[in-house]
Structure formats: C-alpha cells, structure tokens
Amino acid sequence: MLNTKISRRTFLKASAAVGALATLGSGFTTLPNARAAEAAAGERIVPSICEMCGVKCGILVRVRDGRVVKIEGNPKDPQANGRLCARGNAGMKTLYDPDRLKGPLKRVGEGQFQPISWEEAFQEIGEKLKELKERYGPQTLVWLAHPELIAPWERHFMAAFGSPNYTGHAPTCYSSRNVAFEQMYGGVPGTDYANVRYYMAFGRNLTGGIKNPDIQKIVAAKEKGAKLVAVDPRLSEFAFFADEWIPIRPGTDLALILAMIHVIINENLYDAAFVAERTVGFEELKAGVATYTPEWAANITGIEASTITRLARELAAAKPAAAVDPGWHAVTGSQYFNSLQTARAVAALNALLGNLGAKGGLTFPAKVKLGDPSPLMGPKPQAINAPRWDGAGAGKWALIKAHGMVQLFPQRVKEDNPYPIKAVIINHLNPVRSCSDSQAFIEALKQLELVVVIDIQMNDTAYYAHYILPESTYLERYDPVMTVGNKVILRQPAVPPLFDTKGGEEIIAGLAEACGLGEYFRFTLEQYNNALLAPFGLTQEKLAQEGVVEVPAEKPDYTKLNTPSGKIELACPAFVKVGSTLTPAWEPPKVQPKEDNFRFIQGHVPMHTHTTTDNNAYLMALMPENELWIHPSRAAKLGIRSGDIVEVASEVGKVRVKARVTEGIHPEAVFLAHGFGCLVPVRRLAYNKGANDSMLIPIMAAPVSGASAQCETLVTVRKVG
C-alpha cells in the first residue's frame, strides 16, 4: 500500500510539472522533464552493495526525498561494471515490501506472533540460552546461516558461547565442488570467462543461476568467438545461449567427463609440460581411466561416442584457453551421489588442459590483506573440544569440516547423539525450503526448546521460530567491508531503517550481551571496519564517500599450491583415507528411474534468488510460479497437457503445480525451478504460488562430500486438474 501512495504522489508532482511547462507553449514536441527538475530538488546517490543475491555487486542507489527510487550498477565496481540483473534492479521492492518484518516478534501459537521489544526479546532469549547451556552444555546451540559479510561476527558469537556448531548451506549448494578442488588444487579456482576460447558447462547454468560479472565476461568471450558447450538434461537458459547443447541423461555427466579424459590422454592431447611440472599422479589417472572409452560412456550418457570424442578433441585443441567450469550448485556441486567424483573428474580434466593460471583457464583470485580486528574483539575464546553436531570434520566426514551437513538437522534433532541439540539460531537462511524434506525440518523446529530466526522477512523457517529478530534490509544497514580482486567495497544505508529493525551486528551483539558474553562484543561495526581498513589508510567514513577503493593485492602463486605436494593432485591420497578412490572413477547415480517414474531435477531461474525474492512485486510479476517441465512423450502417456495441474509425489512429500510440456527436457527427468511454493500466508504475493521442490527431496548425504543430493529423488506424476 505504501507503494500505491507514493506513486500517486509522484504522479501528482509530475503532472504539476508537466502542466507548468506546457503553458510555455513550445511548438517543438519535446516533453518536459519532471525528473530533471526533481533531481535538482533533492536527489542523492549512495554507493553501496546489492544483496538481491549472494554476488554482492556494487550499486549506486538513487534516493529522492528520502525514498529509494532507482538502483543502478556502480561503474567503479569490478563486478557490476555499471550494470545489474533484474533482481538488482528490483531491490526497492524488497525494501518497500509491505509484508516484510517490521519489528521483533514472539511466537504465541501456530502461525501467531505478538510484537515484543528488542530489550525483552534479547533478555528472554539470553535467559533461555544460559539455561540450556547450563543444562546441556554450549554445544547444544547450533547456528545455521547462508554465510554473508556478517559471518565473522556470527562465528565469533559461537566461539564465545563455546559451541563448534556454526553451519553454512554448502551441502545444498557447492560442497562436492569445494571438497574436490580443495583436496586436488588447494582451493576453489574461478574461470577466466572473459578470455576463454572453449568453454564447457556441466549443469552450470551460467545465464540462469546468474552472476552479473560472469555474464558480462562470457558474453564478451562469445563475441570474440569462443565456443560454448552446455551439458544439461534440460534446455536451460545457458543451453540455449550456448553454441551446442548436449542433452545428457541426468546424473551421468561423470561418465562423459571420464571418457573425455580417456580420449585426451590416449590421443596425447594433454599439456605434457604442465602435467609434468604442476601435477602429481598422472600415471595413476591414466590407468584409472583406461576402460572409460567413449563407447562405454555413450551407453551410460545417451550421447554418441563420436560426439564425446569430438568434444574432447575440440576442448584440447583450444588449450590452455579452454575451461570446464568447476560449477556451483549443480552436477559438480551437490545434486548427485556422484557429484564429488564428477567434480574430481572436472578438476583432472582442467589440469590436463594446463589451464590453471593461464589466460582463459582457471584462476585463483588476487588476495587483499585486510587489517586484524581481533584486538577489539575481547578475550580470546576458549578452545572447543566437543565434536560438531553433524559429525563434519571427523572419520568418514574428515574433509568437510568447513561445509557441514545442514540437511541432516531434522534427523540429528531426533537422535540426541552424541549430545542433544535444543536451540538453534538461524540467520539469512530458510532451511525449511532450502534444505531437503520441508516437513521434516518443520517437525524438527517444533521439537526444539529455542528457535531464533534473524531475517528481513517472515520466511518459512521464521514461521516456526519462538523469536523473530528482524534485520534491516541491505538498503538500510552497514555491513563488514568486502573485497573483490584489488578493491574494497562498503555496504552502507541508503535510507535509515523504515521500521523497528537492526543491523546484523547489533542483533548479534545484543544476543551476546544477553547471554553474559558482552565482553566479546564491546566494539562497533565502524570500529571493526576501521580496523580492517587501517592498512590502506582508509576508514569506513572515507570508504562510504567513495563506495569502491582500489588497494594493493597479492597475486596467486600457481607454482606452490596449498596441497601436500604443492601441485595439483590428480591422484589424491586424501580421498582414499575417507573410503574413496585414488583417482576419479565412475560411480552410478544413487537412483535410477523406471518407466513409471522420473528423476526429479531442480535449479535456478534468472529472475529469482533462492527463496528470498518471491514476495518482491517486480520479480513476482516476471515469474509468479514455477512449472513442472515434462517431455511430451511422457506427458502424453499420462494424459498431461501444458497448463494442467499435476501432482508430483516422492517418498517424502507431494506438491501440486502446473505442467509445462516441453521438448527441452530429457524424457527421464522432470524439472522444477527452486524458490517457489511459499508456505507462509502473511507473505501475500508468494504464498502458495507454484510448488516447493524441497517438499519432495528425501534427506540424504552423499559419500565423502556430505552433499544433499537433491536430484537423487524419484517422483511420480499424475494429472489432477
């Protein structure tokens, strides 16, 4: 309603200006410029950082009469380069969302909340946390987050509290890729999209799961003549943008990559000098892929052997400006049981191309050494001996200490083993819809003695919280400074908070104070930022004026990687220790659909981010619901036509959604875009629109990586309307 009022007011103003100028009676048909007149009157531009997704592009926020009217890319920012996606452009609709959280809330019944003051909320939460710590030990508290700029503060809180249980979203996103590259390369490289000459994406939907800087670069590379190949069971946004779409049987990408390695080694197409100098384990890799012929892979993938051989030869011919994308959430990230092997194979294939550090290959980012804020941050927290709640970092999960297994939370809450979990604080994460099995997650939340959610909106998880602490949106708050390449960038408020909300740092410090941990947080965010910026003679205040400032950065040293050998480990003993193979090897996906069911696959769309934008009026108008993609041959057998309502059922849940019959999907799979099917009535635009994919996905943990393996889900589909 707020929007309505304002746009009327603006309209009236504009009309008045038009009227005034019209009386001048110019015969020339130039329209009067009401906006220009207003710009002179009270417009200011605030440089800041976007938060409509996790990329954090630099933005320029146009504020007129105290109201954000437009958001543009900051030309000085290396990521935005003056440009923004639909979501970044729609940011003001999140700020002025009439359904957003407007003050702290306390749960008083199912879906019922009453306002509570910040002081009371902190006090009650603090008392409860102290009581639970006393009764069960500090490890009874778990903190779940999509780690953002404030993450160091969250970790500091947990360290001070004495719990090892800070847990991110990795297994629903990128665990497998990270584990593979951390062990084999000593870190996760990016792709030099701008200079690539031949680019292959296995499931990575570069133009669907959008990163603004990557889009700008890959389009530039395409313009310069790079060949782009999309391997995907679905005609994704990237599949139609690419020069070639390889419509692979879902879950079998690993076979295709292993066969490409086989061809490149057997035809001596690899970079022998690079392999000799910068890698270890080539002979083991060669032996390992000996049986993975293109003919073998053709049977598994449904892609002709001649195509596989051709792709391998084309890729190798373009080396070293040839890259296979390490990916994010898809095939190499988390979706299959064999995702880790797939990511390892991608890592090995890139190494054969000798592309690490080469123009158009894989690159590590430059590093900026920020100042040390620890002298501000109180006493050094005591070492924590308790094991993590999810077992990450020990035994068969030794390689995933940094990633955890957030999706196992519902099972672990039931088990009480090796210690009970009684409290959770959840910040900037909506695990009810971002993890597996929504219903199980809801049940787990109901079992806990304390659930605190920090967010800007009443998401599906907040709906089951005992306390909801509303964070100010990114247009109303500061955050710790960030670095991109050789730049430091600041998020700062464009407008003061519209409602009774606080910055994340104030909320965390408030919670700490209430738990008796105030001594760890006797510093402000500005002091913290000043400490980070001190080496560059900068302060938060100075950076606030500039928005983006260039600072010295250290280039990566590709000759000394952070692995035991200092080189790329094609044969990697670390994987053997956790029960896997020495070199990348074929593993079939966990499940195999038959004639009467489908593999369920999911992914992102360009106009939405996870479950965070489904109440944004501009973005919901672009895509108000998701649809179930189904192949015409399968749809015909089930009597399903585009627009029909179908029920999709898995072993853990059912959803209803519109069907979209399309030739752009493998007949074995059905696809649903992630980010729809909001379960909370108070978010009026989002509520009940489309289907929630997480409702269908059973709770799983893939071997070694602990990834949540969303696409190892079988579903049946039937027409219901």
Partner 1 sequence: MARLGMVIDLSRCVGCHGCSVACQAEWELLPEQHFTKVYRYEVGTFPKVHGGVVVTQCMHCDDPPCLKVCPTGATQKRPDGLVVVEESKCIGCRYCETACPYGARSFNKERGIVQKCYFCYSRIDKGKKPACVETCMAGARFFGDWDDPGSEVNDILKTKNAIKIAGTAFAYVPPRNWLMDRSLLPPDFQEPGAVRIWQDLVRPAGKAAMGLAAAAVVTSLLVNTFNKGGVHRAGKED
Pick the closer one to partner 1 by CB: 384 or 617: 617
- Per the CB < 8 A criterion, the answer to whether 57 and 71 are in contact is no
Restricted to residues 245-274, the positions that interact with partner 1 (CB under 8 A) are 245, 247
Please give the C-alpha separations between residue 596 and each of 217, 300, 593, 599, 709, in angstroms, as whole numbers. Answer: 43, 20, 8, 11, 22
- Per the CB < 8 A criterion, the answer to whether 59 and 73 are in contact is yes
Pick the closer one to partner 1 by CB: 590 or 658: 658
Residue 638 makes contact with partner 1 by CB under 8 A:
no
Report H helices in 318-370.
Answer: 339-352
Which amino acid makes up residue 667? P
Residues 6+ apart with CB under 8 A from 627: 657, 658, 659, 660, 672, 673, 690
Beta-bridge partner residues of 502: 471
Number of amino acids touching partner 1 (CB under 8 A): 74
- Per the CB < 8 A criterion, the answer to whether 256 and 297 are in contact is yes
Interior CA angle at 589 toward 588 and 592, to 5°? 105
Sole window of 126-134, 149-157, 206-214, 327-335 interacting with partner 1 (rule: CB under 8 A): 206-214
Pick the closer one to partner 1 by CB: 390 or 668: 668
Residue 83 makes contact with partner 1 by CB under 8 A:
yes
Nearest distance, CB of residue 310 and partner 1, angstroms? 16
Nearest distance, CB of residue 294 and partner 1, angstroms? 17
Residue 605 makes contact with partner 1 by CB under 8 A:
yes
Sole window of 41-49, 105-113, 236-244, 396-404 interacting with partner 1 (rule: CB under 8 A): 236-244
Pick the closer one to partner 1 by CB: 62 or 169: 62
Pick the closer one to partner 1 by CB: 229 or 515: 229
**Cα–Cα distance measured from residue 93 to residue 9, given in angstroms and rounded to the nearest whole number:** 17
- Per the CB < 8 A criterion, the answer to whether 346 and 324 are in contact is yes
Nearest distance, CB of residue 37 and partner 1, angstroms? 10
**Cα–Cα distance measured from residue 537 to residue 88, given in angstroms and rounded to the nearest whole number:** 31
**Cα–Cα distance measured from residue 669 to residue 238, given in angstroms and rounded to the nearest whole number:** 18
Tokens of 524: 């402000």
Sole window of 85-93, 404-412, 526-534, 580-588 interacting with partner 1 (rule: CB under 8 A): 85-93
Residue 14 makes contact with partner 1 by CB under 8 A:
yes
**Cα–Cα distance measured from residue 391 to residue 397, given in angstroms and rounded to the nearest whole number:** 7
Tokens of 697: 């996905």
Residue 691 makes contact with partner 1 by CB under 8 A:
no
Residue 13 makes contact with partner 1 by CB under 8 A:
no
Restricted to residues 564-603, the positions that interact with partner 1 (CB under 8 A) are none
Residue 622 makes contact with partner 1 by CB under 8 A:
yes
**Cα–Cα distance measured from residue 680 to residue 455, given in angstroms and rounded to the nearest whole number:** 14
Tokens of 114: 């009453």
Restricted to residues 35-74, the positions that interact with partner 1 (CB under 8 A) are 35-36, 69-73
Nearest distance, CB of residue 401 and partner 1, angstroms? 36
**Quick check: bond before 98 cis, omega within 30?**
no
Interior CA angle at 593 toward 587 and 594, to 5°? 130
Sole window of 216-224, 457-465, 488-496, 691-699 interacting with partner 1 (rule: CB under 8 A): 216-224
Sole window of 184-192, 240-248, 361-369, 471-479 interacting with partner 1 (rule: CB under 8 A): 240-248
Nearest distance, CB of residue 392 and partner 1, angstroms? 35
Please give the C-alpha separations between residue 552 and each of 111, 187, 374, 486, 539, in angstroms, as whole numbers. Answer: 51, 22, 22, 6, 16
Place of tokens 């709640």: 389
Sole window of 87-95, 128-136, 144-152, 581-589 interacting with partner 1 (rule: CB under 8 A): 87-95
Residue 93 makes contact with partner 1 by CB under 8 A:
yes
Residue 419 makes contact with partner 1 by CB under 8 A:
no
**Cα–Cα distance measured from residue 197 to residue 314, given in angstroms and rounded to the nearest whole number:** 10
**Cα–Cα distance measured from residue 165 to residue 108, given in angstroms and rounded to the nearest whole number:** 28
Sole window of 127-135, 531-539, 564-572, 613-621 interacting with partner 1 (rule: CB under 8 A): 613-621
Residue 235 makes contact with partner 1 by CB under 8 A:
yes
Residue 30 makes contact with partner 1 by CB under 8 A:
yes
Residue 472 makes contact with partner 1 by CB under 8 A:
no
Residue 435 makes contact with partner 1 by CB under 8 A:
no
Residue 4 makes contact with partner 1 by CB under 8 A:
yes
Sole window of 7-15, 387-395, 474-482, 521-529 interacting with partner 1 (rule: CB under 8 A): 7-15
Pick the closer one to partner 1 by CB: 82 or 190: 82
Place of tokens 């390695």: 261
Residue 559 CB-density burial (10 A; 0-12 exposed, 13-18 middle, 19+ buried): exposed
Residue 355 makes contact with partner 1 by CB under 8 A:
no
Restricted to residues 116-155, the positions that interact with partner 1 (CB under 8 A) are none
Sole window of 119-127, 181-189, 260-268, 664-672 interacting with partner 1 (rule: CB under 8 A): 664-672
Nearest distance, CB of residue 304 and partner 1, angstroms? 10
First CA to last CA distance, the chain: 34
Residue among 46, 63, 92, 257 that touches partner 1 (CB under 8 A) = 92
